[in-house]
Chain A
C-alpha cells in the first residue's frame, strides 16, 4: 500500500473512445503529478498540480486533459488517443513541490493499451 491509489490498473481502449484515469492520495500531500512511463524511456512528467492549481503542462497533447478537483484527487481524461500513447501512466504526490528533498510517492499505475 503506497498511500496513492490508481484505478483502473489496466485499460484497453480504441482510438475513438473516451476514458478517464483516477488517482487518490491518502497522505495529506498538496502536490499531485501525472507521469508517463514507456519501455526503455525515462519517466516523462506530464502535469503538475500544487494546491489544486495546475503549475505545469509539459507540452502534452490536448487529447490528454487533467482535472484536480481537490488536493486528494487527480484525474486524467483521455480522448482520441493514438497507439503510441500506450504506456504505464503513473500518478504521484508530494508535499509542496518547492521542498527539494520531498520525495514523490507513486501509485501502481494504469497500464493503458490503445488499439
Chain B
C-alpha cells in the first residue's frame, strides 16, 4: 500500500527553527515534494528532492533519505506568515499526498 505520515500539528515561536518530518512507504519513488498551503489558498510548491541530501532555498531547506523513507522540511528564522499547512507528497506513477502538518507560529 501507499502511506505517507506527517505530524498533524506543530507550534513554534517567531524567529525559531522548526523541522517538519515526513515518512513514506510507497511502491515506487520518483521524488518527494513539499508544498505550503495558507488557509483558504492554493498549495504552493516549495521544494523537490529526488537524491539523498539537503536542498537549501533561503530560509527553507528540505532533506531526503531514500533508504529510510524519510524527509524533513526545515524552516529557519520563522515569521508569522509561515503559519500554514505543509504538505509532503511522493511521486510514484502519480503524486500521493500526506494529510499535511498545520504549523502555528506565535509571537
B-binding residues in A (CB < 8 A): 2, 4, 40-43, 45, 48, 56, 90, 100-101, 103-109
**CB contact list, B27-70 vs A, under 8 A:** 30-31, 33, 35, 40-45, 48, 50
Instruction: Determine if B41 and A43 form an interchain contact, defined as CB atoms under 8 angstroms apart.
Output: no
Q: 9 tightest A-B contacts by CB?
A: A103-B45, A106-B42, A43-B97, A100-B30, A42-B97, A108-B42, A106-B43, A2-B42, A42-B99
B95 within 8 Å of A by Cβ?
yes
B54 to chain A, nearest CB (A): 17
A48 to chain B, nearest CB (A): 8
Q: What's the dominant secondary structure at chain A's contact region? A: loop
The CA-CA distance from A59 to B94 in the complex, in Å, is: 14
Out of B40, B91, B95, which one reaches A108, CB within 8 Å? B40
B96 within 8 Å of A by Cβ?
yes
The CA-CA distance from A43 to B37 in the complex, in Å, is: 12
Number of interface residues of B (CB under 8 A): 24
Instruction: Determine if B41 and A40 form an interchain contact, defined as CB atoms under 8 angstroms apart.
Output: no
A-binding residues in B (CB < 8 A): 4, 8, 30-31, 33, 35, 40-45, 48, 50, 87, 89, 91, 94-100
Instruction: Determine if A45 and B95 form an interchain contact, defined as CB atoms under 8 angstroms apart.
Output: yes
Instruction: Determine if A109 and B99 form an interchain contact, defined as CB atoms under 8 angstroms apart.
Output: no
The CA-CA distance from A108 to B35 in the complex, in Å, is: 14
Instruction: Determine if B45 and A107 form an interchain contact, defined as CB atoms under 8 angstroms apart.
Output: no
Instruction: Determine if B42 and A107 form an interchain contact, defined as CB atoms under 8 angstroms apart.
Output: yes
Instruction: Check A41/B99 contact, CB under 8 A, given A100-B30, A100-B31.
Output: yes
A39 closest partner in B (C-beta): B99
Q: Which of B31, B91, B95 has the most A CB atoms < 10 Å from its CB? A: B95
**List of A residues within 8 angstroms of B50 by Cβ:** 100-101
B29 closest partner in A (C-beta): A100
28 A-B pairs within 8 Å (CB atoms) are namely: A2-B42, A4-B42, A40-B8, A40-B99, A41-B99, A42-B4, A42-B100, A43-B43, A43-B87, A43-B89, A43-B97, A45-B94, A45-B95, A56-B94, A90-B43, A100-B30, A100-B50, A100-B91, A101-B31, A101-B48, A103-B33, A103-B48, A105-B42, A105-B45, A106-B43, A106-B44, A107-B42, A108-B40
